[in-house]
Chain A
Amino acid sequence: MKSTAELQTLATQVRRDIVRMVHAVNSGHPGGSLGCADYLTALFFRYMKHQASPFDIQGKNQDVFFLSNGHISPVYYSVLARSGYFPVSELATFRKINTRLQGHPTTHEGLEGVRIASGSLGQGLSVATGTALQKKLDSDSSTVWVLTGDGELQEGQVWEAVMFAAHNKADNMIVAVDFNQQQIDGSTQEVMGLNEWTSKFQAFGWEVLEMDGNDWVSIDAVIPAAQSKLGQGKPIVIIMKTEMGQGVDFMMGTHAWHGKAPNDEQLAQALAQLPESEHGDY
């Protein structure tokens, strides 16, 4: 098992991948990707029981992860590649013609690690709940993990799924809400000010935990706490506070880098803050 220091180094490498991928095609979503780099690194390298190769799209008898906010594909692709789902070198094809690393994740080109398309928001929790129920039907005791954005919670379908998951006691599922409080048009408070997520999920019958998704002490306390709540009749959600753009100072504290790529100078500035490790750039 990797030490926390090793995971932190890996998360920094993931952040390098993110800014380099987005810069290379002058498009993509670095802000949310950087904010979720620690959480996804922790999941894929410490907490999830999963097999990268050979990849089983059905995910039988292993933990499966669903990215509902598909626009943060850079962090997802980087973590998948560095977990061994597909070659790290393939990150260089992100968003380019004939790539398997489409702008938003898809199963369409057969990219290992991806089990459903996402990008149009609000659908991932429904899909994940379906898979959670499938696992129960098949007496498969592994866990379904989901990441969703906080702006995404404005989609009505999410609340249909929240109701449905509680009603069906989908207690084999741990959802993280990326509570970065930013969306394209501004802060979530400005766009649609309804941020009391803990009491909302509790009112719907969910087990709710809160975590700082950029603090490894918090991550290593809260994820095991969430896992200890599995199998107790309630779906579980972690309200995960993150900083959009985490790790690159000029991308933090603003929604400006939600879907904007750095130029050459900004890339150099970003990479200077993210030291390359023994993992190496793609």
Chain B
Amino acid sequence: MKHYEILGNKDTRSGFGAGLLEAGKANDQVVALCADLTGSLMMNAFQDAYPQRFFQAGIAEANMMGVAAGLALGGKIPFTGTFANFSTGRVYDQIRQSIAYSHKNVKIAASHAGLTLGEDGATHQILEDIGLMKMLPGMTVINPCDYNQTKAATMAVAAMNGPVYLRFGRPKWPVFISEDTPFIIGKALMLNEGTDVSIFATGHLVWKAIEAGHILASKGISAEIINIHTIKPLDEEAVLKSARKTGCVVSCEEHQRHGGLGDSIAQLLARTEPKPQEYVAVNDSFGESGKPEELLVKYHLDTPDIVEAALKAIARKG
């Protein structure tokens, strides 16, 4: 099992803030909007550097999405900023009609995704957003795993043409992807080659998958660990190649079991070469208040849950 050094402990939202500033430097067409959460989204640096290109939308997310579409229409590259819940469910129809159907080059930056925002509880812990957004035709869906990857992803989506949902989180989290790792949209990132089970992970759970890989290695199990940062379009070739090699699959995500990364993988395998698959995901439930680590334990998204899922998947190979 490959060893990943922890390079720091930083929140992925700060990676977004840093990436946005870089994207703004690289291209003066990049603009940003925020719905009264500039500090939470770490958009202050961009706002300070480019006040003319920053729009405070107030607590009015529906309008923010429409304004972003209008800015994009004339050639700007807008990033909208608010929590993941208010970036998706609250404004689904605005995104659907004015951004996705109209194919506008808007980047929807969604912080505080999943359970790990913690104490604010279920009203703010959206676990359905990946499903909502991947259902929209033409929408790219990205969920990076650490600070460095989020920064790189932010810069990469600014450089591509088309609507993007970029999902990240609040808690400080191990940084382990090197700064110079290129971020290629739609290309899975191999973290550890293995032979017994394929673990596909996205977002915060990628680090948990690496921890699980070490435990599995101590039990003599060789886990292949692949970071799926781009959920849509899915890197089908990478998923199939790995599933074919190991013969069983575990998907890991801070999201509902319904409609998330796991379902995208299951659908691919069902269409091509079905394999035993175990889900590490929230099972048809809302979240609740608590510390991020406590929530991951309670909702079975922690390292031991990934180990257990891998053992089950291997046992089902028959």
Contacts and interface: CB of A to CB of B under 8 A. Distances in A.
B66 A126 contact: yes
Contacts of B160: none
A58 B74 CA distance: 4
B63 A157 contact: yes
Interface string A85-127: 0000000000000000000001110000001111110111111
A133 B58 contact: no
Helix, strand, loop or mixed for chain B's interface? helix
B58 A163 contact: yes
A138 B73 contact: no
A115 to B, nearest CB: 6
B97 A134 contact: no
Given A59-B74, A157-B94, A116 B60 contact: no
Contacts of B62: 122-123, 126, 156-157, 160
A230 B103 CA distance: 30
B134 interface: no
Given A58-B73, A137-B76, A127 B101 contact: no
B73 A163 contact: no
A106 B70 contact: no
Contact of A123 (B57, B71, B72, B98): B98
A124 B70 CA distance: 9
Contact of B97 (A115, A123, A133, A167): A123
Given A133-B55, A160-B60, A123 B66 contact: yes
Nearest to A70: B97
A164 interface: yes
Nearest to B103: A107
A134 B71 contact: yes
A107 B163 CA distance: 15
A131 B94 contact: no
B139 interface: no
A123 B75 contact: no
A124 B67 CA distance: 9
B227 to A, nearest CB: 33
A15 interface: no
B69 A108 contact: no
| A107, A108, A122, A133 — most chain B CB neighbours (10 Å) | A133
B36 to A, nearest CB: 12
Contacts of A191: none
B104 to A, nearest CB: 7
Given A137-B52, A164-B58, A126 B63 contact: yes
A129 B101 CA distance: 19
Contact of B69 (A59, A106, A127): A127
Nearest to B72: A130
A57 interface: yes
Contacts of A118: 97
- B31, B66, B68 — most chain A CB neighbours (10 Å): B66
B73 A106 contact: no
A145 B102 CA distance: 19
B71 A116 contact: no
B102 A164 contact: no
B57 A59 contact: no
A130 B104 CA distance: 12
B65 interface: yes
A108 B100 CA distance: 10
B291 interface: no
B10 interface: no
Contact of A130 (B58, B69, B93): B69
Nearest to A126: B66
B96 to A, nearest CB: 8
Interface string A129-159: 1111111011010000000000000001100
A60 B70 contact: no
A160 B97 CA distance: 17
A130 B60 contact: no
A131 B66 CA distance: 10
B55 to A, nearest CB: 7
A127 B67 contact: yes
A117 B138 CA distance: 15
Nearest to A156: B62
Given A130-B72, A134-B73, 17 more contacts: A107-B101, A108-B101, A116-B98, A117-B98, A123-B94, A123-B98, A125-B66, A126-B98, A129-B63, A130-B70, A132-B70, A133-B55, A133-B67, A157-B94, A161-B67, A163-B58, A164-B57
Interface of B: 31, 52-53, 55, 57-58, 60, 62-76, 78, 93-94, 96-98, 101-104
20 contacts: A58-B75, A106-B102, A107-B103, A115-B73, A117-B102, A123-B62, A123-B98, A126-B62, A126-B67, A129-B70, A130-B70, A131-B73, A133-B70, A134-B70, A134-B76, A157-B62, A157-B63, A160-B63, A161-B66, A164-B67
